[in-house]
Structure 1
Amino acid sequence: MEVDPSTPPGTIQLTDNLYIDKVPVTNLMYNEFLDHLENYWSLKRHEELKNLPSYGVKPDSVFIPWSGNTRLYMAMSHENPFELINNKLNVDNYTSAPWYQWHPVVQINKEQAEMYCKWRTDVVNAVYAIRSKNARKRDRFPSKVTYRLPTVAEMKAAQYKLDREYKLLRYKEQIYGYNGDFHEFKRMQDDDQLFIFELNEYAQTGEYNPLFDYEPNVYQKSEFQNGFRCICEVE
């Protein structure tokens, strides 16, 4: 199925101008964020990219080597890579092993999640500008996207709407275990449905448990890790 270029990557549409991540942000996505902090992105670059032209942009004018910020990279990295997620798996193995790359990122704080949203906004807008050689081609994409954390009310409304449309699925297996299917979690991102997991997710204020009306199947609520997904506002 061909993806509509006007749909922000990895999201499912909720309203005319609102989209939400199909799955929580993954280890792969968060590691890309950290790579950019180390090499290509900083809060200074964030301010500079606000003036980026909307089309005809060269990649090397956006992804400039040595324009990252080491201090910010360290602040956004996992505080304790050896902390245990369960009795067999630590954060370092979970975030770096290739068979966990599509699993939800955990063991980060709300400030890190908010910074990720800011970076993702810059990158997606820049990619649209790079892919558009002229104004006509730019019209295929949104003029601007803004990623942020959802509110609890938005998440409830999204789940209610998508559940009625048979586009809401609850994942009922282990999150932090590898069952030999390398692409299991990748397929969720390629599907046109919203997946909810047995973890807590950050909201604009506080956090929420996306199960809402469901009881957990695999983990006790005291065992839930913190992850997050983004809402995308489109202009």
Structure 2
Amino acid sequence: MNRITKYSIVALTILLITSSCSLFKPVSSTDPFIIDPSTPPGTIKLTNDLYIDRVPVTNLMYNEFLENIENYWSLEKHEKMKEYPRFGLEEDSVFTPWTGNTRLYMQVNHQNPEEMITTKLNMENYANSPFFQWHPVVNISRKQAELYCLWRTDLANAVYAMKSKNASRRSIFPYQVKFRLPTQKEMIAAQNKLEREYKLTKYQEQIYAYTGDFGLFRRMQDNKGQMTILEIKEIAKDTVFNAMLDRRLSYYEQEELKTGFRCICEVTKEQKN
């Protein structure tokens, strides 16, 4: 098995998630993985055409993004991917090694790895330690978050094309998905709607501790029927806002809140004429 194949098997099981849920799900011993076409991975449905991430983007997912930029994806590749076929796409087309992307990689990487998240935890340790891989990525700029959404859009549509051998198979998936930052208005509407439907979970305890139940954050993300908000600020398309909105903070003070982000996903069901 060559390097690209080894990488893609790993990448395709996690690259489209903002949590531990995979694009694939086991179905049988003869066909071990298929794509669930009903919901973009890691999201919860808001309307027929709009889905939102169940949790903020995690360190695991942002590091996957960084690895792709370092090795495979670029803004030039983004333009090329617009012309990719909608089915029968070869993995090598997506995961062809790419060099010369140092400037973009530096732009999207954490700007100050020595910055302290707490008095005992710096940014580099938090971003890269396996203990914190399911925790929300923080201290990301709006530009970095927008590039993440662009990359995720490219990879999502490419995976549909790779897993579809023909037009009939491709037709069971959305014609196109587009990940982007939500507006504050969309985020407020999403939280209000999901809270009314008992699908909103509020986590208001310590996030950046060395001790504690690190598996808790992964279990949060395994809960496909809930969207979780944390005591962090989130980047919206038009502002940065406190994800708890008007709720009383239980653990952190306003000035202690770190900044993360989540994506919203626009789904096009059919080709528009």
With the shorter chain as reference, the TM-score category is over 0.9
Partner of 1:193: 226
Of the candidates 42, 57, 63, which is equivalent to residue 25 of structure 1? 57
Alpha-carbon distance in 2 for matches of 1:17, 1:122: 18
Partner of 2:267: 234
Q: Check 1:30–1:68 CA distance in 2 against 1; reply closer, same or farther (3 A cut).
A: farther
Tell me the CA shift for residue 135 of structure 1. 1.3
Matches within 5 A, 1:17-166: 17-67=49-99, 69-166=101-198
Of the candidates 32, 43, 48, which is equivalent to residue 11 of structure 1? 43
Percent identity between the aligned chains? 59
Q: Deviations over 1:48-69 (max 9, x none)?
A: 0011111111111111112561
Partner of 1:213: 246
Tell me the CA shift for residue 213 of structure 1. 2.5
Corresponding letter in the other structure for 1:14? L
Corresponding letter in the other structure for 1:54? R
Q: Secondary structure at the match of 1:181?
A: coil
Q: Secondary structure at the match of 1:80?
A: coil
Corresponding letter in the other structure for 1:171? Y
Q: Deviations over 1:23-82 (max 9, x none)?
A: 000000000000011000000000000111111111111111125611100111011101
Tell me the CA shift for residue 139 of structure 1. 2.0
Check conservation: 1:42, 1:67, Cα contact below 8 A.
no
Q: Answer 1 or 2: higher relative contact order, Cα 8 Å, separation at least 6.
A: 1
Alpha-carbon distance in 2 for matches of 1:126, 1:67: 20
Comparing 148-157 with 186-195, which one deviates more in the overlay?
186-195
Corresponding letter in the other structure for 1:134? N
Q: Secondary structure at the match of 2:46?
A: strand
TM-score, normalising length: structure 2:
0.83
Tell me the CA shift for residue 180 of structure 1. 4.3
Alpha-carbon distance in 2 for matches of 1:128, 1:202: 28
Task: Give structure 2 stretches of 5+ with no counterpart.
Answer: 1-20, 26-34, 269-273
Alpha-carbon distance in 2 for matches of 1:201, 1:80: 19
Check conservation: 1:23, 1:196, Cα contact below 8 A.
yes
Of the candidates 181, 202, 207, which is equivalent to residue 235 of structure 2? 202
Q: Check 1:43–1:72 CA distance in 2 against 1; reply closer, same or farther (3 A cut).
A: same
Q: Secondary structure at the match of 1:232?
A: strand
Alpha-carbon distance in 2 for matches of 1:146, 1:189: 21
Check conservation: 1:197, 1:211, Cα contact below 8 A.
yes
Task: Give structure 1 stretches of 5+ with no counterpart.
Answer: none
Alpha-carbon distance in 2 for matches of 1:213, 1:44: 42
